[in-house]
Chain A
Amino acid sequence: MSPASWRNPLRDPRDKRLPRIAGPSSLVIFGVTGDLARKKLMPAIYDLAHRGLLPAGFSLVGFARRDWEHQDFGELVHDSVREHARTPFKESVWNRLAEGIRFVQGTFDDDDAFDRLAKTLHELDEERGTGGNTAFYLSIPPGAFPVVTKQLARSGLAAADDKSWRRVVIEKPFGHDLKSARELNGIVNDVFPEESVFRIDHYLGKETVQNILALRFANQLFEPIWNANYIDHVQITMAEDIGLGGRAGYYDGIGAARDVIQNHLLQLLAFTAMDEPLSFEPKALRSEKAKVLAATKPMLPLDQTSARGQYAGGWQGGTKVPGLLQEAGFAKDSKTETYAAVTLEVQNRRWAGVPFYLRTGKRLGRRVTEIAVVFKRAPHLPFDSTQTEELGQNALVIRVQPDEGITLRFGSKVPGTTMEVRDVTMDFGYGHAFTESSPEAYERLILDVLLGEPSLFPVNEEVELSWEILDPVLEHWAKLGTAPEQYPPGSWGPKSADEMLERTGRHWRRP
């Protein structure tokens, strides 16, 4: 019987207890000694195993330059799991996982190493029955993509047949402008067809981000007011309190806008602003996201609607921290921005006239990511102005991290004999209403890769559309040629960013 006509008699769509277990497969990680692999990927794989979501015979292959035996790599995985895994360490789970751990030593230009990798994968199929299904996780700089994908093609590893699949997982940055993004997509698509390319934007693996869809499309309460009639503006913030010490190699010349706005913030914008998809099929979801991204443009003139900054040295949270220009590895006259704010508009009927303010920065007040939907003021207030002095605008805030949840701000009467209205908040916290142990973003995303479920991965169309939105701003900044404005560490960004909102009578929310 062919796979298409086979109906598994034990599957029942009503059986909601059964977890989604991935089919037989193996995962190859390139750049296995990197931070991401140690702190996120390998712990996530253990957590999946612990939750019983990995197939029997699942195998993990590490590829790196180090002269290691399988056991040495096993030890690295063991240590990183011990230290970073979310679920408790269980010997029996670990032992099953450890049986399938292999290591291949080599450099990316070493033909022999890739032949050994092919041999290892073949052996794993025979010993453990991975079915030849393989996912390649490229946790390496994009500069190395061409050589690795070429090697995979040369050694025959990239070619799927009708019985097994090959998938490739890549991480940001997806280029540094539209042109380079197209080149990169070209390089990857030369070897892997688009449907087997999984671009990881770990924000999309977060429960809170997926919950935006549930909040908007499963409830009657919000969608009727989710438009320009009621919404005044939207602020999307991703702030970090850490600096860039030690990341000069990656960050210098890239900057905050390319690093964060192009991918994470524009994806959050797409989720917030998109129309209802026909269904939650990957294709329907992606086409709505692409539609809203295609309608999104930066507001003009750019010198008034964008701002950038660079953190200066000073005191932050009780410690003395260096400014960007003093960080090791950065040019003394670096024009790389560590803070970026842009004003975007979504040119459709739903959002006409509603600015979307996106900002991100390093060394800001605290680590927080949130989407604040700020509503218009009530058109008429039957109160004296003295009674509503303390009443702000209603707001719905989706806290993406930390303290995941949703806050609703609205006016309420202050207890007492006079009529006085003040802002209060109504709060939904994930940690309160659900679980302490909601899965890590990487768990969800790795499982989705193994299952071949592409909903939560941006396609190259989305990547290219995002660059089309951001490129004019980047070009404008490059043309100015001036150094970004300095801002004190631990503050909420440069003055120009505040002025950018004040021009329209608005102000940034303090997250």
Chain B
Amino acid sequence: MIIDLPSTTTSALNKKLVEIREQGGQVALGRVLTLVIVADDDAKLEDAIEAANDASREHPSRVIVVAKGARTAAPRIDGQIRVGGDAGASEVIVLRLYGPLAAQGQSAVVPLLLPDAPIVTWWPGAGPKAPAEDPLGQLAQRRITDSAAEKSPIRALTTRAKAYVEGDTDLAWTRLTHWRAQLVSALDLPPYEKVLGATVTGEADSPSTELLAGWLAEYLKVPVHRVKSSSAQGIISVKLERKSGAIELTRPDGRVGTLTQPGQPQRRISLQRRNNPDCLVEELRRLDPDEVYEASLHGLHKIAATAPKAAPKAAAAKAPAAKTPADKAPAKRKTAEKSAS
């Protein structure tokens, strides 16, 4: 059911919501959060609402869409309420804001927030440089941006890294989860050896690739090389160098990954690029600050400057050589001590 309320006020919208609830029991379900979607009133808006509806099957929520219309028009709110089949398991309130109101979204959103329930703000398109300072971001416990949807994704990511406040997150980070899961489990298995160096290859403007490199740099504390390639979309491969050989995870076609480890057969893994509803579901699953994301943003500085393809190999080859004597020395000392005692 879609109800249009042209040129309306938030109190009229609230009244209508209560009316629908009393008449049909439509909205009388438990809502776990309010999701505020901030976007321009354009063709992509419906995709975002669709994604939110999909996500609502796991996280029933009230979705408030702040669609910014023409800034030059007279100030006006066009409201729309969607419930039932048109809204998944959520209730969607679309607010089309015109004129000076378009910049005052929070004033229209506040009266419609659910009591007690946490608030998540999502910018599916271009978002603010510092989400936590945006009036609609200030309302929220969690602020979801999407660097990949910006005009210059890498710059957007680095600016946000500087402005990071607990509760910020980015879909470029969410898209990484499957890659990270595979890499973590690969290191759970023998041989239990230190990682000596890493190389991450991906599209030049893929913020996910940057974040993956940042995450590895921060946690492995080894030099991480970022190689730019345009042979496929998004992340293309990750290589972790170890003494016995490299762990390599590659995805040349954006769908199936291949995991290669020394002494193990090659394994193929379904590593499909993730769509927005899927990422949003994961994002809404936790509402506390994501420390690992923060650490990975921090790791962005540590990524070694883009090197030509041959360089990382040389560096990796050098690294073990440099390490070996250092590794052996304490062991020797121990045996010496033993024999002495």
Contacts and interface: CB of A to CB of B under 8 A. Distances in A.
Q: Do chains A and B interact in one complex? A: yes
Given A11-B184, A18-B177, A129-B265, A52 B270 contact: yes
A82 to B, nearest CB: 17
Contacts of A437: 57-58
Nearest to B221: A9
Top 6 nearest A-B pairs (CB, nearest first) are: A56-B267, A6-B192, A1-B192, A433-B30, A435-B58, A432-B29
B341 interface: no
Contact of B268 (A15, A99, A126, A428): A99
Contact of B189 (A131, A429, A432): A131
B216 to A, nearest CB: 8
A23 interface: yes
B60 interface: yes
A3 B192 CA distance: 7
B58 A55 contact: no
A93 interface: yes
Given A9-B220, A23-B188, A56-B259, A96 B180 contact: no
B51 to A, nearest CB: 16
Interface residues of B, number: 47
Contact of B219 (A9, A163, A432): A9
Given A96-B270, A436-B58, A8 B184 contact: yes
Interface in B222-272: 255-256, 259, 261, 264-265, 267-270, 272
A129 B268 CA distance: 11
B32 A433 contact: yes
B292 A14 contact: yes
Contact of A429 (B30, B59, B183, B264): B30
B268 A56 contact: yes
Contacts of A433: 29-30, 32, 60
Interface string B182-213: 11110111111111000000000000000000
B123 to A, nearest CB: 20
A57 B258 CA distance: 11
28 contacts: A2-B192, A8-B188, A9-B219, A10-B183, A11-B187, A12-B291, A15-B292, A17-B180, A17-B290, A18-B177, A18-B180, A18-B181, A18-B184, A19-B177, A23-B185, A23-B189, A52-B178, A56-B259, A56-B267, A93-B270, A128-B265, A128-B267, A129-B267, A429-B29, A429-B30, A434-B59, A435-B59, A436-B57
Nearest to B268: A96
A127 interface: yes
Interface residues of A, number: 43
Contact of B180 (A10, A16, A93): A10
Nearest to A432: B29
Contacts of B221: 9
A49 B270 contact: yes
A74 interface: no
A92 interface: yes
B219 A12 contact: yes
Contacts of B194: 9
Contacts of B183: 10
B262 to A, nearest CB: 11
A5 B191 CA distance: 12
Given A1-B193, A57-B267, A129-B265, A21 B292 contact: no
B58 A434 contact: yes
A120 to B, nearest CB: 15
A19 B184 CA distance: 10
A96 B269 contact: yes
B180 to A, nearest CB: 6
Nearest to A435: B58
B282 interface: yes
B15 interface: no
Nearest to A49: B270
A24 interface: yes
Nearest to A428: B30
Interface in A403-453: 428-429, 432-437
A92 to B, nearest CB: 5
Contacts of A93: 270
Interface in B278-309: 282, 286, 290-292, 295
A129 B264 contact: yes
Given A9-B187, A433-B29, 20 more contacts: A3-B192, A8-B187, A9-B219, A10-B183, A10-B184, A11-B187, A12-B291, A15-B292, A17-B177, A17-B180, A18-B181, A21-B182, A52-B178, A57-B265, A128-B267, A432-B30, A434-B60, A436-B89, A437-B57, A437-B58
Contacts of B255: 92
Query: Which of B59, B174, B192, B221 has the most chain A CB atoms closer than 10 A to its own CB?
Result: B192
Contacts of B187: 8-11
B292 A12 contact: yes
A10 B282 CA distance: 20
A96 B188 contact: no
Contacts of B290: 17
A19 B216 CA distance: 18
A459 to B, nearest CB: 26
Nearest to B282: A17
Contacts of A24: 189
A308 B272 CA distance: 55
Contacts of B178: 52
